[in-house]
Amino acid sequence: MKEIGAKEFEAEVLQENGLVLVDFNADWCGPCQMMKSVLEEFAEKNNTVKVVGVNIDDNEDLAREYNVSGIPCMVLFSDGKETKRVVGVQSVKKIERMIGV
Amino acid sequence: MIYDIIIVGAGMAGLTAAIYGSRAGKSVLVLEGNIHGGQIINTINIENWPGDYKTTGAELMQKIYKQAVDLGAEVEYDEVIKIVDKGEQKEVECEDAKYTARAVILAMGTEPRKMSDKQARDAGNRPVSYCATCDGALYKGKPVVVVGSGNTAKHEIAYLEGIASKVYHIHHDDPIPQDAAAVFVAIGRVPSTECVEGLIELDKEGYVVANEDCTTSQEGIYVAGDCRTKKVRQLVTAAADGATAAEKAVRYLNKI
């Protein structure tokens, strides 16, 4: 999974056509580690959704801007606009259901 | 298909049971409502799991999950609602589907006790966390409140004091301070045994009544890990239970 920061966010997420799932995470968060392996499995199965990670410690402004109040926090963007979000570790099935793929 | 063994819960106890059941040549299905790994995935530094000094919960459980799957166990992410004991067949009703097995191992673990309704109303839209080490860093420089009076609450307060601008400490049923940006709840844990209420003997706190042999009040239904009555709730004792319960289930299956 590609990790991005504030610099890349505009091009990688906001300017992107289609679906982008952003995983807000941190190194000190155990469930986030679990979520990363789930998202890697998800990405292998679903190539129509782009998945990127944002480390909230390195990108405090992004975390504040997107009002991240618990992690892992997965925010779905459709054509650059937030459409859905879910907080807490989830199975691949639940992520697929949330996105509708 | 009728499985030999259905295991409810994919934490340490459930996945160890899956390893033992699969290695004994039985068909095994593990049902998990959330994600595999159980409670320990919240822990960042584990020093008491023999052989893996200073590992993380997520790393350890990912390895055990892969081991169980590699040995042939199936894992399905579906929340168990109810179990019906029809003698030689046990029906496990889930949110999405219904599964059948000849033996069942209960390994649902425990979950954090929730705030009272009054406190939940007080908290309103503010974030509620059950794990300061997981979410504490999000409230750097902000006031937070910890609900609870036991050892866990003390531990959470000590952790948050290094991060938050102020840490209020209240007991359950106290009003939530107006300016608290987040509510950390540490009022103990309760067993996740709702799906077997009325089926299996539970103690007054909801734990499945069992001995060290992991048998329950129902034939063909076994229990492993934190959701049973026991004195020591640790990773290794959960794993030990998984092995014991699977061994009991295998013996039972070979007899019927």
ipTM of the complex: 0.85
What CATH code would you report for A2-96? 3.40.30.10
Residue A74 near chain B (CB below 8 Å): no
The answer to whether B5 and B28 are in contact (CB under 8 A) is: yes
Sequential pLDDT tens for chain B (256 residues):
999 999 999 999 999 999 999 999 999 999 999 999 999 998 888 999 999 999 999 999 999 999 999 999 999 999 999 999 999 999 999 999 999 999 999 999 999 999 999 999 999 999 999 989 888 888 999 999 999 998 889 999 999 999 999 999 999 889 999 999 999 999 999 999 999 999 999 999 999 999 899 999 999 999 999 999 999 999 999 999 999 999 999 999 999 8
Prior bond of A72 cis (ω within 30°): yes
Facing residue for A30 by CB, picked from B34, B58, B138: B58
- CB contact under 8 Å between A34 and B44, yes or no, is no
- CB contact under 8 Å between A89 and B34, yes or no, is yes
**pLDDT tens per residue across span A56-94:** 999 999 999 999 988 999 999 999 999 999 999 999 999
Facing residue for A28 by CB, picked from B129, B137, B182: B137
Cα distance between residue B44 and residue A32, in whole Å: 11
**pLDDT tens per residue across span B173-214:** 899 999 999 999 999 999 999 999 999 999 999 999 998 999
Q: How far is B132 from chain A (nearest CA, A)?
A: 10
Size of interface A-B (CB pairs under 8 A): 61
The answer to whether B49 and B238 are in contact (CB under 8 A) is: no
Residue A64 is classified by DSSP as: H
Spell out the domains of chain B, with CATH numbers in brackets.
2-111+190-255 (3.50.50.60), 117-185 (3.50.50.60)
Write down the domain spans for chain A: 2-96
- CB contact under 8 Å between B41 and A71, yes or no, is no
Cα distance between residue B76 and residue A93, in whole Å: 9
| SS3 state of residue B219 | coil
What residues of A are in contact with residue B61 (Cβ under 8 Å)?
Answer: 34
What residues of A are in contact with residue B77 (Cβ under 8 Å)?
Answer: 91-94
| % of chain A exceeding 90 in pLDDT | 91
| SS3 state of residue B73 | coil
